[in-house]
Chain A
Amino acid sequence: MFEYAPAPESRSVVRLQPAYGLFVGGEFVDPTDGDSFTSINPASEEVLAEVAAGGVGDVDRAVRAARTAYDRVWGPMPGRDRAKYLFRIARLIQERSRELAVLESLDNGKPIKESRDVDLPLVAAHFFYYAGWADKLDHAGFGPNPRPLGVAAQIIPWNFPLLMLAWKIAPALATGNTVVLKPAETTPLTALLFAEICQQADLPAGVVNIVTGAGETGRALVEHHDVDKVAFTGSTEVGRAIARAVAGRDTKLTLELGGKAANIVFDDAPVDQAVEGIVNGIFFNQGHVCCAGSRLLLQESVADQVLASLKRRVAQLRVGDPLDKNSDIGAINSAAQLARISELADAGAAEGAQRWSPPCELPEQGFWFAPTIFTGVTQAHRIAREEIFGPVLSVLTFRTPAEAVEKANNTPYGLSAGVWTEKGSRMLWLAERLRAGVVWANTFNKFDPTSPFGGYQESGYGREGGRHGLEAYLNV
């Protein structure tokens, strides 16, 4: 047997402070009417740092700082000068990528190979990409001299803390807005390190403000009268509440919410690569992915063969220490999320689907969930309809392309879909009919800053990334 020896990435590159304040007006400040909370390592439950929870007054201070910076510095600044700051930030992210990747894995629980090879390269790429747009907005297709909105309130989730920050901040700054960003309460630390990078880049004070906290802080930010734009990525439930709060105000809103993506495998698919795509679709980032391929639709003529290959492959996955370079699956981000995943998985078994997990030893400390596959799932099962946001795959079958489309579209969501077939004409036929913001052809979970991303129906509205992503932050 080839036993891989432990290969832990060193934590020494990260220097954490015991406590963090809020980043307002270019410096770290203590909250005035807020509180504090701790952020833990979900793989060990060890406390990493104490973090401020911003109150209503703190949010107001941050919005005022952003307004001042917008009026006096960032709004009037020529695009080519804004670009210089964004390029500088992008380069600093690259230079400090190891530090950021280790901290991301510590705070979030995702395996270091993903934070190192996926998250951080995409974060830097996003800043580079939008830095390039800053002085070319006249040519973006929105008419001459499109104007920014003003102050953007941005609320991001815990599944890709730094990447979601990049998706929000890079286009907002490139188009001339200033921002107040609230990271998720379980993963605030890389955003605070990003604040240090803003200081290092000499970004003018108040252009980026980071207010940590939980739901109450987010609510205060969304309901603040002086924000011109709200951008939210997270659950559909919170998205609805935000839409209600913003309704009737002159505030632009984009929402990127949940998903229940279908990954459709036809009998002429490249089987070995499809199996990789299925694994990547649902087990990437412990399944904490809004566009995860959580519903596998197999054509009945190859269902047994693909399932056998899939199980053999899933048995190879290495679950464990997120900082071990050979870990494929890390920790579930929080006790609350673990409880939700367990509840839905139990419901799947109770409703009659067959549950399977490979033999795998889970660590005793921390929050862990073994990769799980449900077969014999029908459209009526909760695990086929509700977003689980964990490493749980529901397998359904279909007979014809028309049935595949019908089942894939039979969901209130519509964020992404995957199709596996060697036949080009079928691929195009399906891509036209699938109601999903992204359709991946013979691949899954591929991201690129040049490509717009967003959903249909309850998966939200507005697009992030690419030229389309500029529109959300321009007065057009």
Chain B
Amino acid sequence: MRYLPHTSENIASMLQKVGVKNLDELFSTIPEDCRRKDDLNLPEPMSEWELNDHMNTLAGTMAVSPEYKVFLGAGSYDHYIPEAIKHLLMRSEVYTAYTPYQPEISQGTLQTIYEYQTLITRLLGMEVANASMYDGASGLAEALLMAIRITRRKKVAVSNAIHPLYRRVVQTYFAPTGYEIVEIPYLANGRTDISALDNLEELAAVAVQSPNFFGCIEDLKNIGEKAHSDKKTLFVTCFTEPLAYGLLKSPGSLEADIVCGEGQSLGVPRSFGGPGLGIFASLNKYVRNMPGRLIGQTVDKDGKRGFVLTLATREQHIRREKATSNICSNEGLCATTATMYMASLGGTGFRELAGLNRDKAEYLKGEMKNAGFTISFDSPTFNEFVVESPAGFETTYKKLLKRKIVAGLPLAPYYPELDDHYLFCVTETSSKEDMDALIKEVTS
């Protein structure tokens, strides 16, 4: 086997040094009744070439572009990834390294993540960002737990227009400790109904998503002010599409205390939902309550600039049960990817690409309206929007799947009241031609 370099001579001389007769004897400390008697029942090993064929076949069953036109977003977005990034990620000094515990020989990882932290704070208008969380959903759960730690309160208010799968993850994280989650409804315009906050007291946090699950851009300024009417309450905002902040005001400029979300859009392939990138940012005054790793700048013995893992006293390996989180491995390579992506676009490109996403989505929105769909919510949107379909669309939807078009995400499984509603997403990868073809299909 090409990954196992030991020849039989090697094995014999090593066994001799160890002082045992055979490989089985190495396991003498394992009691007999703990051992397995039978061989592993696994498929016969495949050669590299057999594996390629096998995987090609499985990959071939998947509905992906360009063969399929997939108008799906909902937390996972199709964006172009420059070839340069794919090539850089093949630098195996980067992807075969462990967490940078030995800074002298890990400066590549450390400087990159320091750059990541910096670009994220600039994108979100925040003061400090960590080295990443698992994904947007667990990031939101950790943000709310952080607010609970800071305020010593036990109740959070969460907008119902936050991604429904994120809310389910929050529920799972909260279940063992019994912290309370109050859901705030959404309005007919698709934005969060902040008047529901009027009757709530002692909140650790108010959490909203913008653009929200329906694609609607929330009025963060208003919600932030309302949340902060109680000085102790923290304003938590999350997102699934960070590209939106190329165009929109940053949450940091609108009084957010903690900002978290999914960074898959920043150059990370969708890969059936993971790995993604949990982005997490906050204010300096809360840094010691933040979960996750942080990279800091310092100097070496000769006074030269360098970077290290820092503020580790918050973390599990030092603080053990008093740690701010149990997170250890995060999504380092995805944070690296995001850094390369943000650097490739630059401020100028990021804004242009964001604009293009919105303009294309607006085009399809207009065309769908003309085709007899109702635009469900009239709030401004970024690259996603909800439509209510004309009668009989369910059949058309199934027919379109056969024609290799995925015409949005049916919302009924997530919001029973939104029967016949579909969430559409358009990014820079959809051409006008693709959208016109979709309209032609739905009207024919």
- Are A and B bound to each other? no
Interface residues of B (CB under 8 A from A): none
